[in-house]
């Protein structure tokens, strides 16, 4: 998946979450005002919102992981930056 598609996926997932929250609030107020029983619809909107909200950082972390793999392919070496090597201190 190209890097720009990850950005689109993160943006779409975040925007979907915000949109579902707005629709859920509208249905909550309309249901209370008109005394409709819409608990199932509200629950479905909430679950959809949470799935979308979880999806955005998941796509972001997937993109970061892919970028780090590409970085290691560009700069191969024996030692990884950020990894502490205590083998010399133990010996």
Residues 6+ apart with CB under 8 A from 79: 85
- pTM (2 decimals)? 0.64
3-state helix, strand, coil in the chain (%, to 5): 80, 0, 20
pLDDT in tens, 24-75: 999 999 999 999 899 999 999 999 999 988 888 888 888 888 877 777 776 6
Q: Phi first, then psi: what are they for 2, rounded to 5°?
A: -65, 155
Residue 42 · residue 24 · CB < 8 Å: yes
Q: Which helix (H) or strand (E) holds 15?
A: helix 3-34
């Amino acid at each position: 998946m190209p890097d720009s598609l990850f950005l689109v996926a993160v943006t779409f997932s975040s925007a979907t979450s915000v949109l579902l929250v707005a629709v859920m609030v509208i249905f909550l107020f309309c249901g209370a005002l008109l005394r409709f029983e819409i608990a199932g619809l509200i629950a479905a909107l909430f679950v959809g919102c949470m799935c979308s909200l979880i999806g955005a950082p998941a796509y972001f972390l997937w993109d970061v992981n892919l970028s780090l793999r590409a970085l290691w392919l560009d700069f191969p070496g024996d030692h990884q930056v950020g990894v502490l090597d205590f083998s010399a201190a133990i010996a």
